[in-house]
Structure 1
Amino acid sequence: MDIAVVGAGSLGSLLGGLLAREHDVTLVGRDPHMRRVAAEGLRVAGVEQFRVTPAARTDVPDSADLAVVAVKSHDTAAVADQLAGCELGACLSVQNGMGNEATLAAALDCPVLAGTCTYGARLDEPGTVAFTGRGEVVLGPPAGGRSETAERVGAAFGGAGVETTVAADMPRRLWAKLAVNAAINAATALARVENGALADGPGAALAADAARETARVAREQGVDLADERAVELTRQVVRDTAANRSSMLQDVEAGRATEIDAINGYVVAAADEPVPVNETLTRLVRTRERAD
């Protein structure tokens, strides 16, 4: 399969590197990383160690069987416009936050799939990505159900050794992931702590409250996600990633725009009733961004 990975930072580079062992892959990202990959290949270190030689560029190609979108949520609209001029067979979002699939589908003529990814990655230096944790890609139609496109993409990922599940319940899985992100990202970014700081004490209580609010909004939207299931998933991720610094914390520390609007801000916008914890976290992160 001819695959373009758009947003080849840490996670995009790792997925692209894994897929390049079996498929024709083009990484689309920023220099100097793309320039180094084009010249010397991509080195993957950590859980697995290997070198692959995908194509690498800073603009999207003219065509691909599949575009895997891994950019930050605030860049989705711009990437959708770029991909609209690309002849695509399908598109898969593995992004954080909600609403990305709808933005892509509005601009593209091909099937758009939703996805979640729990692989761990860190971009150490241009040309090198650290594989920090084995995980899973779950994908399927954004509205739920099955599709031939999802089965074909799932088989392509599995054939490259990527642990993959093709799921019929993507709305529930997306809201569950949103609950975890809403619980962890903003709190760790504001407190400047690793994920493990939310394992007990006031941090754990705050995370649980944000997760419960998100689960309630999911049910308002017709998605069956129980409060305690959202809290349980959050606690599990906190335990499993205790030493990790969340992507939002990294963005705040680097003075970059965060994905707050697609995470806690999305919960606030979608809620029928007040969600004071998510609203407070959203306002605080936005204030932090303005200060930067």
Structure 2
Amino acid sequence: MSKYLIVGAGALGCLYAAELARAQQQVYLLVRDTQANIQTRELAYTRIDGTQESIQVQALDTPAWRQQAPTWAATFCGIILATKAQDALASVQALAPQLPPQVPVLLLQNGMGSQQAVAQYLGGQHLVLAASVTEGAYLKAPFSPVHAGRGVLRLGAFDPEQTKAQDAAQAWVRTWPTAHLKCIYAQDIHPWLWQKLAINAVINPLTLIYNCPNGELMQHLPQVRLLVEELQTLLQSLAIQLPCTDLQTCVQEVIQATAGNISSMLQDQRAGRPTELAYISAYVLACAKQVGLTLPAHVRLYQQAQACLAIKD
């Protein structure tokens, strides 16, 4: 039995907590509650086949982590950071004083920018891994995850040149205990992170401004194609080769495969939560500026998304 700490009780955090616990792993879920002691928490888990199951995990908050960490932090086989991108750095800063450098930290954040901030903060002594996650999940209520679609947890060292982190990534995949959530090693995770970013940079803000599920974006294909063309120009300027050979086809396939889904950005906006727009659209535009590109379609989309968020606020 291995021990995992999962930081963040959102959809992905609860999904991984439930499946790891089902695989007889010892799971600790770091939550925002104010209890100072470790308590048993039940997850009302809906599996991908629709069956429901009550899963028990151990829940704790940051004060409890700080109290317990000196004696057992080094016994964890891995820490999964499943927070929103905007919360990633602060969450790591709260853990860092008691974070053993030999325990790998796996980052699941959408977009890009938060991974760089975490890696820079932790420095080269820690084993920082990053992942591109395509599992479909949502919460129908707090601590009630629904596994809505099969995908892949593809992970690798955030710094591909860090040998110890690469070894840790391969070990993570070798010892991954649940076949229900597929886990794959990537020698260079950055093309996969960029591919997910490119897809999200089209789907997330478009669903936000049109207030629609992903599938309805097929009614806006000219705009989708223009956004993808600009991304292809940016990727070429940055000398980034994506794993997929045709980004236009890839984006449309994701739209169709997730037709009934509500994007995470639209879910956040509807719930009155901060979105990850700064780590998706704004990050794309910042990279474009660095290489002298303007990406007018993405600029307009970003401005429209900001306006939608301002209206909601």
Question: Given the two structures, how large is their TM-score scaled by the length of structure 1?
Answer: 0.90
Partner of 2:132: 116
Distance 1:235 1:7, change over 3 A: same
Q: What is the distance in 2 between the residues matched to 1:27 and 1:245? A: 25
More moved, 273-282 vs 57-66: 57-66
Pairing partner for 1:243 from 247, 257, 260: 260
Q: What is the distance in 1 between the residues matched to 2:229 and 2:105? A: 31
Q: What is the distance in 1 between the residues matched to 2:245 and 2:182? A: 27
Q: Is the 8 A contact 1:176 1:215 kept in 2?
A: no
Q: Supply the AA of the counterpart residue of 1:168.
A: Q
Q: Supply the AA of the counterpart residue of 1:113.
A: L
Please list the CA deviations of residues 204-239 of structure 1 after superposition, one character each: whole Å capped at 9, or x if unmatched.
222232233223323322311399622222111111
Partner of 2:214: 195
Structure 1's consecutive aligned runs of 4 or more residues displaced over 6 angstroms after TM superposition are none
Partner of 2:186: 167
Q: How does 1:48-197 map to 2 (within 5 A)?
A: 49-59=52-62, 61=65, 62=69, 63=73, 64-88=76-100, 89-108=103-122, 109-144=125-160, 147-157=166-176, 159-161=177-179, 162-197=181-216
Unaligned runs of 5+ in 1: none
Q: What is the distance in 2 between the residues matched to 1:139 and 1:283? A: 32
Question: Given the two structures, how large is their TM-score scaled by the length of structure 2?
Answer: 0.84
Q: What is the distance in 2 between the residues matched to 1:231 and 1:195? A: 15
Q: What is the distance in 2 between the residues matched to 1:153 and 1:130? A: 24
- Aligned pair count? 287
Q: What is the distance in 1 between the residues matched to 2:283 and 2:195? A: 13
Q: How much is the aligned-residue C-alpha RMSD, in angstroms?
A: 2.4
Query: 1:128: Cα distance to partner?
Result: 2.0
Q: Supply the AA of the counterpart residue of 1:24.
A: Q
Q: Is the 8 A contact 1:211 1:227 kept in 2?
A: no
Unaligned runs of 5+ in 2: none
Q: Supply the AA of the counterpart residue of 1:176.
A: Q
Q: Tell me the secondary structure at the aligned position of residue 84 of structure 1.
A: helix
Q: What is the distance in 1 between the residues matched to 2:295 and 2:146? A: 37
- Report the identity percentage: 29
Partner of 1:256: 273
Q: What is the distance in 2 between the residues matched to 1:267 and 1:226? A: 18
